[in-house]
Every structure is written in structure tokens, then in C-alpha cells.
Amino acid sequence: MRYLEKLLQGVKVEWKPLAYLESGVAELSRGRVMSKEYLEDNVGKFPVYSSQTANNGEIGKIRTFDQDGEAITWTTDGANAGTVFHRIGKFSITNVCGLIKIKNIEELNYKFLFYWLSIESKKYVYSGMGNPKLMSNQMAKILIPIPPLEIQQKIVDILDTFTELTAELTAELTARKKQYNFYRDRLLSFEEGEVKWKSLGEIGELIRGNGLQKKDFTEVGVPAIHYGQIYTYYGTFATKTKSFVSHDLAKKLKKINYGDVVITNTSENLDDVGKAVVYLGERQAVTGGHATIFKPNKNILGKYFVYFTQTAMFASEKKKYAKGTKVIDVSAKDMSKIKIPIPSLKEQERIVSILDKFDTLTASITEGLPKEIELRKKQYEYYRDMLLTFPKDEQK
């Protein structure tokens, strides 16, 4: 017998709407309009939550607060509509954020309701006219299962354990990334006169790509790297590509060989310009516009160069040549002027070997902490769905 069936054996589970009619278990409300200027003029210590999900939904802190205690908020508008948060303490919300206050905490546990809505609320989001919304009238109709409080608490305790484990792993990953950044910058910093500094144009050939749009991708064919994938998909190196193009199109595009580095020239922000990936695939690949292929000579390792592009020194160099406001671009010609330190090949290999270990731990899709976090999240979702599956024949 499944754990939940044992837990609920002989127990009555009531079903009530969240806030619909008098039988609703909670009261819903919305926040107030707060402009950017208002937030700047009233800076304080109490958080303000809005429709975003980054930074736990917080968009700033002000001197006053509208809410004090335990509650649940949800995003009413935008791409993240229907995302719920459990809140405790003094805070305020904006007009694109909803608030849920339970009427009787002797009947319903806030954390239990939060876990339930984290599954259900997304199902009620309306996506018409290209702007997803979850308004109070829809939220109010969501049916809530209400087992006895002690059963709710047992379910919350189990799910909290998985949540805390994931949080601990995420904190560990953040710490390891800081450690990695520290050692990377230290390994790639050299005293004056210790090594020669040369421009990219002196140590290799730079070739600006051409063509290639997302609509050109095919299921099979010639391996292809699109510039946008360099800052959204690839890490330090790639042995296989995410995308392919037809052989006819590939003939017109610039070629990438083993050991070549593909660098982004264009993005909406400076951080993503100059992102690079070294190609270590066996098959020749291609790339298109907004990317430059750097073909290093025998005095520099492609992977060493890619690691250097992740440093504060490289960021400072590329900033000198960045052009544009809404769209930032560093041309292949200007990229060739950027100078980097060139230690001996033996020293480059040593540095790469050390940084590869950190890279595997912090950024690998199949190894290290990210994989562990992904597995724990799946485990949490499995047990959440199992623990929050209640007999429908009790529904009212």
C-alpha cells in the first residue's frame, strides 16, 4: 500500500474552494501600485513582492509594510503567472501580485496550501492575447483538499525535508562557483613581465560568421552552433552540437574545426558578448552571423583562451570596444585587438587541468552538483505529487 494510502486510511478528506462563495477557506486580495520612483524614494528594510520570480519575487525594500504574518502570494500577470510563494513576516505586494490569507488556521496549514497550489495554480492560468494571467476570480475556484491538520503537517514535514536538501545543495553550488571564480581569476593573473601579452590577432585567425537563422535548423545534417546557444546552452567546450543544418546551407557558412573557438559578437547585454565555446567535435561544424571563429595558432590552447574569456580582465578589455546601447556588439576586427596573457603551453595545460575539475563540479550537465540538484528536484516533485494525490470521491 502506498504511503499516502496508509496515511489517509480511515481519514475523511474534505474538498473546499479556495475563496469561492461562503464555503471558501481563504480570502484573496491584491496589492497596490508602486512605481520605480516610489521604491527609490521610500527605501527601507521591508520587502516588496511583485510579479517576477527572480530574487524570490522581491523588487525592492521600503520603510513601511502592508502585511504582517504568514500568507501566500501569487503572480497574477506575465510569463510567471500562477507562481506561488510562502511568506512570513512584514512585507508589501504590488498590484500584479495576489495575496491569500487563510480564514481558519485550525483547519488549513499555510505550508500545506502552498504545496498544493504549487501544483494546481498553473492549471488555471489564462494565456489568451499573449499575456498569461491568473486573476482572483479564477484562483478562487481552485478546490483544496483538507485532511486533518496532523496529516497536513506530516506531508509538509516530508516536503520541507526535500526542499531544504535542494536549498543546501544550491547554496553549496553557489559557494563552489565563487571558489571557482576566485581560483580561475588567480590562475589567469600574471605579474608584469612574467608572461607575454599578445592580441588575438597575433596568436590566431579571426573569421566573422555569416547567415544562419534558427529557422534553418534541421533534425540531422551538418553540426551547427548558433551564437545565441553559446550563452544559453553550451559551457566551456562542446563535443557535439545541439543543432544541425542541411548540407547545401553548410556550404555557404563558415567552418569550425576541432580546437576552434566560437565567440559571440552580439547580445542585448555586455556580459554575453565575448562568451566563447571551444569545439572539440570530430565532425566539422559551421556557424553564422553574430559569431566569430577564432582559429588559435600552435602557441595557445583553445580551452585556455575560453577560460580567459570568463575573467574580469577579459570583461574589462571587451568593454573598451563595445558599441551600441540596446544591442551591444564587438566586431571581429575589434575582438582581434584584445590582449591576453600567453604562458608556456605546459603552463596552459596545467591551468586548464585545474579549471576543468572546477568546471565539471559546477557546470556539467551530467556530473557534479547541478546533476545532484536536478535529481533532488525530480525526487521532490515525485513525492509532492504522490503525497498530494487525494481520493476524488470525497470531493464536494
Per-residue pLDDT, 395: 44
Per-residue pLDDT, 364: 61
Q: How confident is the model at residue 396 (pLDDT cuts 50, 70, 90)?
A: very low
Residue linked to cell 513601511: 64
Per-residue pLDDT, 366: 54
Strands 84-93 and 43-49: parallel
Pick the CATH number of 13-147 from 3.40.50.150, 3.90.220.20, 3.90.110.10, 3.10.310.30: 3.90.220.20
Q: How buried is residue 347: exposed, middle or buried, by Cβ count under 10 Å (0-12/13-18/19+)? A: middle
Over residues 86-109, the pLDDT tens digits come to: 999 999 999 999 999 999 999 999
Per-residue pLDDT, 28: 97
Secondary structure (3-state) at 263: strand
- Range with the poorest average pLDDT among 21-35, 104-118, 171-185, 217-231: 171-185
What are the cell numbers at 256?
A: 569550425
Per-residue pLDDT, 131: 81
Q: Are 73 and 57 in contact (CB under 8 A)?
A: yes
Pick the CATH number of 196-342 from 3.40.50.2300, 3.90.220.20, 3.40.50.620, 3.90.550.10: 3.90.220.20
Secondary structure (3-state) at 249: helix
Q: Check for a shared fold between 13-147 and 196-342.
A: yes
Per-residue pLDDT, 325: 79
Extents of the domains making up the chain = 13-147, 196-342
3-state helix, strand, coil in the chain (%, to 5): 40, 25, 35
Q: How confident is the model at residue 367 (pLDDT cuts 50, 70, 90)?
A: low
Strands 97-102 and 291-296: unpaired
Distance CA 215, CA 232 (A): 17
Q: Are 73 and 100 in contact (CB under 8 A)?
A: yes
The dihedral region occupied by 8, where left means phi > 0, alpha psi between -120 and 50, and beta the remainder, is alpha
- Say yes or no to pLDDT of 296 above 70: yes
Section 194-216 average pLDDT:
92
Strands 261-264 and 276-279: antiparallel
Return the amino acid letter for 291: A
Over residues 166-176, the pLDDT tens digits come to: 888 888 878 88
Distance CA 378, CA 71 (A): 26
Length reported for the chain: 396
Per-residue pLDDT, 360: 81
Over residues 56-76, the pLDDT tens digits come to: 999 999 999 999 999 999 999
CA distances in angstroms from 230 to 169, 226, 242, 315, 336, listed in the order given: 26, 7, 10, 16, 19
- Of 272, 279, 273, 275, give the one whose Cα is nearest residue 237: 279
What are the cell numbers at 307?
A: 577560460
